[in-house]
Amino acid sequence: MTSSRALLTKGDVSPLRDVPSHIARPEYVGKKRAKQWRGGDVHSAETIEKIRISARLAAQALAEVCSHVAPGVTTDELDRIGHEFLLDHDAYPSTLGYPGAWGRPAFPKSLCTSVNEIVCHGIPDSTVIEEGDIVKVDITAFLNGVHGDNCASVIAGEGSAEAVKLVDATREALARGIAAAKPGREVNVIGRVIELFATRHGYESVADYTGHGVGPAFHTGLVIPHYDSAPAHNDVITPGMVFTVEPMLVMGSQENHEWKDGWTVATDDGSWCAQFEHTVVIHEDGAEILTLP
């Protein structure tokens, strides 16, 4: 195990990748803003079946991309693999052209790659992955008019014991948050469980970035915090609801800042972060994970 690498810096972003015209684009591509979704977060059985298909494809894409995480590979190469996988399955990579907030540029790539102290929304570029890096891959598939969204953390080569522990704890935090998502409870139960678990293991759970309603819109407006937000975020979990849970746990302080590129989020203290994300649907007896391959 080599020592941990230096702090990340921005690399070169490759030209936009093409999407053949027969693949349907989400409404926001080429626009300043995504349309505000007003259709709620409880969906019909038909819509849920469509989300199931997008979510499974997103999970398959994630597995394919993650299998290529290794020392020497660039994050741009991971983007190429994810982009081509989704196109091969007639899906659109939801992040490609996703509008930024307040005049920031649209996201220029087909997945997010966030390495080490990058919390989330890292833009794939010429950065070369090194032994021991924690690489978060977040990929979303748009197919039949609906999105499925998921993320995983992979360690390149052999990781330090600390990195392995962080990744394992974050995976478990997600599992516990999902297990707490029962009908009749408020969505804030999810973050309460996640934050408590993180704290017990000596980690902070990032508050600034949240889970979200997903399906006919990439981000419906429903917010799923990963901290104890009660009495806020008291939306009642209801059968037929679809949303993501996507905790980010950090070894040090969760204080963070955005890079000048308008997307990349890094911890202020350079401490490393792991993230996992699933899209789930709520049933009478609890949450079902849709982002499984």
Measured at the CA of 213, the angle between CA 211 and CA 217, to 5 degrees, comes to 125
Q: Judged by CB under 6 A, does residue 140 bind ligand MF3?
A: yes
Q: Report the site for Co ion in 132-171 (rule: CB under 5 A).
A: 138, 149, 151
Residue 109 to residue 96: CA distance in whole angstroms:
5
- Total residues binding ligand MF3 (CB under 6 A): 13
Rg over CA atoms, the chain: 18
How many CB atoms lie under 10 A from the CB of residue 21? 7
Q: Judged by CB under 6 A, does residue 98 bind ligand MF3?
A: yes
Q: Judged by CB under 5 A, does residue 279 bind Co ion?
A: no
Q: Judged by CB under 6 A, does residue 77 bind ligand MF3?
A: no
Cα separation of the two ends of the chain: 31
Which listed option, ligand MF3, Co ion, none, makes contact with residue 107 (CB within 5 to 8 Å by class)? Answer: ligand MF3
The nearer residue to ligand MF3, 132 or 146, going by C-beta atoms, is: 146
Which listed option, Co ion, ligand MF3, none, makes contact with residue 278 (CB within 5 to 8 Å by class)? Answer: none
Residue 29 to residue 7: CA distance in whole angstroms:
32
- Residue labelled with tokens 């490609």: 96
The nearer residue to ligand MF3, 141 or 193, going by C-beta atoms, is: 141
Binding string to ligand MF3 for residues 15 to 54, with x set by CB under 6 A, is what?
Answer: ----------------------------------------
Residue 111 to residue 137: CA distance in whole angstroms:
7
CA torsion angle for 107, 41, 46, 179 (degrees, to 10)?
Answer: 90
Beta bridge partners of residue 275, listed in sequence order: 248
Q: Judged by CB under 6 A, does residue 227 bind ligand MF3?
A: no
Residue 206 to residue 185: CA distance in whole angstroms:
22
Nearest residue to 210 (alpha-carbon basis) of 263, 247, 249: 247
Nearest residue to 43 (alpha-carbon basis) of 198, 272, 243, 229: 243
- Total residues binding Co ion (CB under 5 A): 5
Which listed option, Co ion, ligand MF3, none, makes contact with residue 75 (CB within 5 to 8 Å by class)? Answer: none
How many CB atoms lie under 10 A from the CB of residue 31? 12
Residue 216 to residue 219: CA distance in whole angstroms:
9
Q: Report the site for Co ion in 229-268 (rule: CB under 5 A).
A: 244
Q: Report the site for ligand MF3 in 180-219 (rule: CB under 6 A).
A: 212
The nearer residue to ligand MF3, 142 or 197, going by C-beta atoms, is: 142
Q: Judged by CB under 6 A, does residue 277 bind ligand MF3?
A: yes
The nearest distance, CB 2 to Co ion, in angstroms, is 29
- Binder among 59, 87, 112, 181 for ligand MF3 (CB under 6 A): 112
**Footprint on this chain of ligand MF3 (rule: CB under 6 A):** 95, 98, 107, 112, 121, 138, 140, 149, 212, 244, 246, 263, 277
